[in-house]
Chains A and B, each alone.
Chain A
């Protein structure tokens, strides 16, 4: 199987981020490979190690985002591509970003495109399904496991386990396909120094592309801090304040002895 994993660089959401004048100030924080994309990359790399195949990564973003590509290469991906809009153009977001990735992927060969289930900065999770629709490929979202087709007869299918709202679904999906991955799929490996050094020699190609135009209008007007909650009331034994909240919900099983 040849996998192409779509990866994004995001601000480390656990670092110190602040809103100022409606914008999020990320300067204090580090940038990181989106955690769900790291799981997608790990899933692909582990699959290829087990069953044969290769893994490439693609990222749409500025030169500074190459760090995320290097990270994936150090994990074991063979090569990376960075999609870059023309100088002066704003970085594409939402559907424009999906369109740019799709335009690029149309020029590549692959069996499966893996994405993270969502980006940790947008919390959106719409890009994978957009890609599948743009490329006309079957799609499974929120995968927690990825295996070869058990028949072994055909290598043009994958078995993908998906965590749905109320059940788990093992889906047999025909390749080429798009799959979005949960971090419950696997824990990304931490590359050792040797892999990090080796990754420096792996190829990263930069591809300059036109910014897609004519796409639906959508804009973030401003960011705000989350509405806070009042400070917790700490309660001690006999915990009456807390228990009085719960008491109305108590179900006394029928047939239990009267007090």
Chain B
């Protein structure tokens, strides 16, 4: 049975949803031969959640460099810790949740472990001696079926590709402490300043509903409508390049090839034309509702439900109607 090692990403002391999805998929493939890899200043906080997801073994590198307020950019220490962990865990497959962290370290891991790397896969299976996977290419215009052989093979898994599911029979977790100490002089980089810069309180990668604004949202009034609808739905606010260029939404809310990949239960695209670079970041959403005044907008080719009309008329009506529907069902 192939041994799988999953890098568990911790943000604000929580395991990210894409990490839980990766753990769940690996458990589906590998049963008990799945281990978690954790790099943290305070790893114990995550142990309970790992057990709930049916993980029985965790390799842990503990170092203050991983503290949330660390002044060292995380790429170099994370890569170094994962190399150490992999030496000890000797996995056949290493899975990372896709995202900017994986982007920054996957290439370094590939070089240092002399391992093939399959970035941003949306499906993968393990066979004796390797991995077969499907990954979007050409700005997510096509799917490539790829095959990599080696031990280990490195995979980064796009969020939303598999469901995160807890394990009914939680079992005790064995902790393997991996000796690790990061030499800060090695880093040659320091964090000069950090700024938050997402809109609203809900994390895009974790949200069940995303309300995304495009250039059709052209002023503060439109922005307020988007935010009001998002607040009503407990949704995260996303944006297209058009809306960000207009200066109404922060760059961190960008969805698409340059921005984030999201796959919520429901994606509401408001005043977004549906350029392929935008669609690349949201096409895996379960249900897509698109509002656009142009009935021929390309976004309707990707939508589940299309509404041709003016967002400035439609959103206020929706907000009212949704409040009414919710009240009626109480």
> Given contacts A128-B107, A234-B308, A249-B234, is CB(A167)–CB(B252) below 8 Å?
yes
A94-126, CB < 8 A from B: 94-95, 98, 117-118, 120-126
Q: Using Cβ atoms and an 8 Å threshold, which residues of chain A touch B143?
A: 223-227
Q: Using Cβ atoms and an 8 Å threshold, which residues of chain B touch A208?
A: none
Instruction: Give, as a whole number of angstroms, the nearest-CB distance from A102 to chain B.
Output: 9
Beta-carbon contact of A239 and B321 below 8 Å? yes
Instruction: Give, as a whole number of angstroms, the nearest-CB distance from A35 to chain B.
Output: 9
Interface CB pairs A-B, < 8 A, 28: A11-B138, A13-B141, A95-B116, A123-B257, A126-B103, A141-B103, A166-B196, A174-B188, A177-B188, A182-B258, A215-B114, A218-B117, A218-B146, A220-B146, A223-B144, A226-B140, A233-B305, A234-B300, A234-B305, A234-B308, A235-B306, A244-B325, A247-B325, A247-B326, A249-B234, A250-B232, A251-B234, A258-B327
B149 proximal to A (CB < 8 A):
yes
Beta-carbon contact of B189 and A140 below 8 Å? yes
Instruction: Give, as a whole number of angstroms, the nearest-CB distance from A193 to chain B.
Output: 28
Beta-carbon contact of B235 and A249 below 8 Å? yes
CA distance A94 to B327 in the complex (A): 55
B209 proximal to A (CB < 8 A):
yes
A173 proximal to B (CB < 8 A):
yes
Determine the residue in chain B with the shortest Cβ distance to A39: B258
Q: Using Cβ atoms and an 8 Å threshold, which residues of chain B touch A120?
A: 138-139, 257
Determine the residue in chain B with the shortest Cβ distance to A164: B100
A contact residues, total (Cβ < 8 Å): 87
Instruction: Give, as a whole number of angstroms, the nearest-CB distance from B145 to chain A.
Output: 5
> A95-B111, A126-B119, A184-B254 given. 20 additional CB < 8 A pairs?
A14-B276, A17-B141, A94-B117, A125-B103, A126-B107, A129-B103, A129-B108, A133-B111, A141-B104, A163-B100, A182-B258, A218-B147, A226-B136, A229-B303, A232-B302, A232-B305, A241-B305, A245-B289, A249-B209, A252-B326
Beta-carbon contact of A243 and B330 below 8 Å? no
Q: Using Cβ atoms and an 8 Å threshold, which residues of chain A touch B142?
A: 17, 19, 24, 223-226
> Given contacts A126-B106, A218-B146, is CB(A235)–CB(B305) below 8 Å?
yes
Other-chain residue from A121, A125, A170, A172 in contact with B119 (beta carbon distance below 8 A): A125
Beta-carbon contact of B303 and A232 below 8 Å? yes
**Chain A binder among B31-39, B51-59, B197-205, B218-226:** B197-205
Beta-carbon contact of B117 and A126 below 8 Å? yes
Beta-carbon contact of A232 and B304 below 8 Å? yes
Determine the residue in chain B with the shortest Cβ distance to A230: B304
Instruction: Give, as a whole number of angstroms, the nearest-CB distance from A124 to chain B.
Output: 5
Q: Using Cβ atoms and an 8 Å threshold, which residues of chain B touch A221?
A: 145-147
Chain A interface main SS type? mixed
Instruction: Give, as a whole number of angstroms, the nearest-CB distance from B140 to chain A.
Output: 7
Instruction: List B residues at the A interface (Cβ < 8 Å).
Output: 11, 73, 75-76, 79, 99-101, 103-108, 110-112, 114-120, 130, 134-150, 187-198, 203, 205, 208-209, 231-235, 251-252, 254, 257-258, 260, 266, 268, 276, 280, 283, 287-290, 295, 300-308, 314, 317-318, 321-323, 325-330
Q: Using Cβ atoms and an 8 Å threshold, which residues of chain A touch B254?
A: 184
Determine the residue in chain A with the shortest Cβ distance to B195: A168
Q: Using Cβ atoms and an 8 Å threshold, which residues of chain B touch A121?
A: 137-138
* Most chain B beta carbons < 10 A, residue from A11, A14, A167: A167
A259 proximal to B (CB < 8 A):
yes
Instruction: Give, as a whole number of angstroms, the nearest-CB distance from A241 to chain B.
Output: 6
Other-chain residue from B76, B260, B302, B325 in contact with A250 (beta carbon distance below 8 A): B325
Instruction: Give, as a whole number of angstroms, the nearest-CB distance from A93 to chain B.
Output: 11
Beta-carbon contact of B99 and A235 below 8 Å? no
Instruction: Give, as a whole number of angstroms, the nearest-CB distance from A256 to chain B.
Output: 8
Q: Using Cβ atoms and an 8 Å threshold, which residues of chain B touch A62?
A: none
A132 proximal to B (CB < 8 A):
yes
Beta-carbon contact of A184 and B258 below 8 Å? yes
Beta-carbon contact of B148 and A217 below 8 Å? yes
A183 proximal to B (CB < 8 A):
yes
Beta-carbon contact of B190 and A171 below 8 Å? yes
Instruction: Give, as a whole number of angstroms, the nearest-CB distance from A187 to chain B.
Output: 10
Beta-carbon contact of B305 and A245 below 8 Å? yes
Other-chain residue from B103, B191, B304 in contact with A169 (beta carbon distance below 8 A): B191
Instruction: Give, as a whole number of angstroms, the nearest-CB distance from B36 to chain A.
Output: 19
Determine the residue in chain B with the shortest Cβ distance to A216: B116
Chain A positions 6 through 43: 1 when the CB is less than 8 Å from some CB of chain B, otherwise 0: 00000101100101000010000000000000000000
